Structure 1
């Protein structure tokens, strides 16, 4: 069978020949049209249209250092429950970036140093115009490296431990976990609970500590429990279903009264519900598909709104440069 060769694509030389100009003039029309005389520019543009010429994307990227591409790390899945929130964020930001004629480039990294190496490689190759960082933490070296490199970036999550409201170099979008957990706790108290436990992560996690403060705010405002009783209701484990179950069992065995639980994640909420069943209200965080399938109440992050705010800060350089969005509790 005879193979028919594909038709040759038009080149800059073809456009220059048809328009009767030099290759440099064609390049100027493509990259700096204002410096070309209107009549000459018109001839070149007509030749481009007649030939169906399309500039090579890679060559244009190297010339302009613009790729219309945003880099985001694809985080490793820690478990099949709470890790779903970043998957949903990636879907939302990819769809909204496409509507803005931008692409999302996903990369992987084994840790902060490895991610910084990825930054350097992607910036050196002009593969991306900027980055969206996720999973921020205290003393995060990634943000300082990007600032020193003069790179554009926005974080989904505050730069914990810094002057995050006053520093214009740190553009960020976050969800107010403190307010979300406080609201869920207030609702449980209003429904008749008196001993609302908090099942969270060990101290040192920016997001986790923020959610714990919301729970303490709500309990403290009621003034019904003394500090020792509140401390006894404060449970901390790593994000694991078995560890969460064990923490609740241990508290009950120690005689701690628990008539409701608000959790830092849906993973922890599932662990608590395994022990408490349906008799004690349990509220998770992130409203993952698992929470929905099992009928667990959960604090929902507005991820579509987060994605829009992230892109607005990155692409439009809009003000204010920090966005703290409020979540809502989905009751089931």
Structure 2
């Protein structure tokens, strides 16, 4: 088995220099790093992860909750995020540990267990909410963490108390609304979730801002529905009996698919509809949608957690927030 001493002899450097290249490359000058990397490649050296964890007291592991399977259209974005996080983490010598939790209390128990057992170096939260108890618990346990989702109530990135990355939902619906105003007509409705959903309210805000800034009919309706195809279909079926809207911006693809089915049923298959999430189902039906870019979220969170050294979790990571602007996909 090739050892770190073999790599050091091949590169003509000390054992410590090889260790720094593997664990803290920012400490080593680029020409030296290149020599060591060439020796590692030539010899086929693979660092012993178990020995490194024992030596450094680091697990090189990040924990993230895996949501319960919900079926239907929902959940696709988080699945893509977890997949992207796993891929990006692997390129930095990290692993991802998934844990399931159906309630906040259950997740708090998992956080305690992971901290007590020293099983992870950091945790990434998903599904954030106002006054998030999980964030408070992680601070109490002195566990580095970042969040996919803003800390609602203090969404200004300059006021971040911990690292977070989120999708700018309002920017996505603004772009969708502006597109429909130019392509379909002034009466663009919004189909969203019931009020007091913070993510839903953010997406509704983008629609309202675009309607006010453009040539939109400010009397265009705002319709509520639970996030299901059948529920959305029923809500839009009722709307189209009395209102000849020009287009509909939706808070999710599930809502957009239901709206599309109601439009076909009403004899308006060409009604312009834009969803949110850009799922395979929306693509198959030819429905325009807002792409969330979860891969960019995953990369951004790792950048925040790992700091300048790129191969070690910062403790604590710098508190900073980042909004990722989504992309409108027109079909």
Q: Which band: TM-score by shorter chain?
A: 0.7 to 0.9
Cα pair 1:61 1:126 within 8 Å, conserved: no
Q: Deviations over 1:64-100 (max 9, x none)?
A: 4310000010011323312111111111110000000
* Count of aligned pairs between the two proteins: 282
Counterpart of 1:201? Answer: 193
Q: Structure 1 residues 132, 56: closer, same or farther in 2, change over 3 A?
A: closer
Q: How much has 1:290 moved relative to structure 2? A: 1.0
Return the alpha-carbon distance in structure 1 between the equivalents of residues 53 and 59 of structure 2: 5
Return the alpha-carbon distance in structure 2 between the equivalents of residues 289 and 265 of structure 1: 13
Cα pair 1:176 1:327 within 8 Å, conserved: yes
Cα pair 2:291 2:327 within 8 Å, conserved: yes
| Pairing 1:301–2:292 present | yes
Q: Deviations over 1:111-156 (max 9, x none)?
A: 1111011011011111100011111122221111112222111111
Q: Which has the larger radius of gyration?
A: 1
Return the alpha-carbon distance in structure 2 between the equivalents of residues 132 and 64 of structure 1: 22
Q: Structure 1 residues 132, 260: closer, same or farther in 2, change over 3 A?
A: same
Equivalent position SS for 2:231: helix
| Pairing 1:248–2:236 present | yes
Q: Tell me the TM-score normalised to structure 2 length.
A: 0.78
| Pairing 1:151–2:143 present | yes
Q: Structure 1 residues 165, 330: closer, same or farther in 2, change over 3 A?
A: same
Return the alpha-carbon distance in structure 2 between the equivalents of residues 321 and 219 of structure 1: 31
Cα pair 2:115 2:141 within 8 Å, conserved: no
Counterpart of 1:268? Answer: 255
Q: Structure 1 residues 71, 290: closer, same or farther in 2, change over 3 A?
A: same
The higher-RCO structure (CA 8 Å, 6+ apart) is 2
Equivalent position SS for 2:123: strand
Gaps of 5+ in 2: 2-18, 20-44, 308-313
Return the alpha-carbon distance in structure 2 between the equivalents of residues 78 and 251 of structure 1: 28
Gaps of 5+ in 1: 1-8, 10-29, 31-51
Return the alpha-carbon distance in structure 2 between the equivalents of residues 182 and 315 of structure 1: 33
Cα pair 2:168 2:324 within 8 Å, conserved: yes
Q: Structure 1 residues 53, 84: closer, same or farther in 2, change over 3 A?
A: closer
Cα pair 1:164 1:170 within 8 Å, conserved: no
Counterpart of 1:114? Answer: 106
Q: Deviations over 1:200-240 (max 9, x none)?
A: 111122211100000000111135434xx23xx10111111
